[in-house]
Amino acid sequence: MFPFARSVTLELLSRFLSQVPSNVSLQGLDFPGVIVSSDSPILQPAFASLQAACKFPGIPEPLLLNATLAPDISTLLGPALKANASLRLRNVLSVTLTIEQANLTLYLCDDEIVTPKGSVCSGNLYSETLGFFYKGDLLADWGGVVAPPLSDANSPFYPVAFLADTSAVEKVIADAVTDRDVLAKANGTVEVSLKGPSGIVVRVPVSLEELDIPMCLFDSNNCDVRRVG
């Protein structure tokens, strides 16, 4: 593969996983001294003049389904509340997906409304910064977050770096305890590696801004994963 073709392919993968549609143009090659688009002398003129364009959509499913908080009960009454967090991932690809680096900030919804398809954040207003899900090298620190092909997978629990004040964090926990929906937005970047059956690994940066992520306590399997279509 030519270097420019590899670069374009990685950019396309990055945009796909970032849920960003792309305009794709396929064009034949017919440059002197360069491998053309076909080894067949009969087909070379046809392939060299080929030009085709299409719309390549972003990934059809959200990468993040929900978030789970596991507060340290012994610190609930203390000045510095501690907790761990886990994310539930959805891998719609037929290859293994691993998040190796992360810089994800979680924001809290200002005004939640209930619809027939689940809770949503009114006006997409997320103002309170809860904290970092993780900021650093997940691969070096924890072995990465691995999602097998065509599966949903829970990440391990990682320490949360709270950015909100203690009262805001306590309110989130209190709302979750009383079964009230708690919605978050995940914003930031992750470095993803994709490993195919041949063992070849491709690494791409992914930009994330996912809305209406349900947050729950302790058990992600009982967390509301409904989303508005």
Backbone angles phi, psi at 27, to 5 degrees: -135, 135
**Cα-Cα-Cα-Cα dihedral sign, residues 141, 142, 148, 150:** negative
Q: Which residue has the higher pLDDT, 27 or 99?
A: 99
Which residues are within 8 A (CB) of 160 and not within 5 positions of it... i.e. 6 or more apart? 69, 82, 83, 84, 85, 130, 131, 132, 133
Rounded percentage of the chain residues whose pLDDT exceeds 90:
38
Of residues 222, 220, 131, the one with CA closest to residue 184: 131
DSSP 127-161: EEEEEEEEEEEHHHHHS-EEE-TTEEEEPPPEE-E
pLDDT band (50, 70, 90) for residue 44: confident
The predicted-structure confidence for 9-29, as pLDDT tens digits, reads as follows 899 999 999 999 988 888 787
What gap in Å lies between CA 49 and CA 28, rounded to an integer?
A: 6
Q: DSSP class of residue 72?
A: -
pLDDT at 77 over 70: no
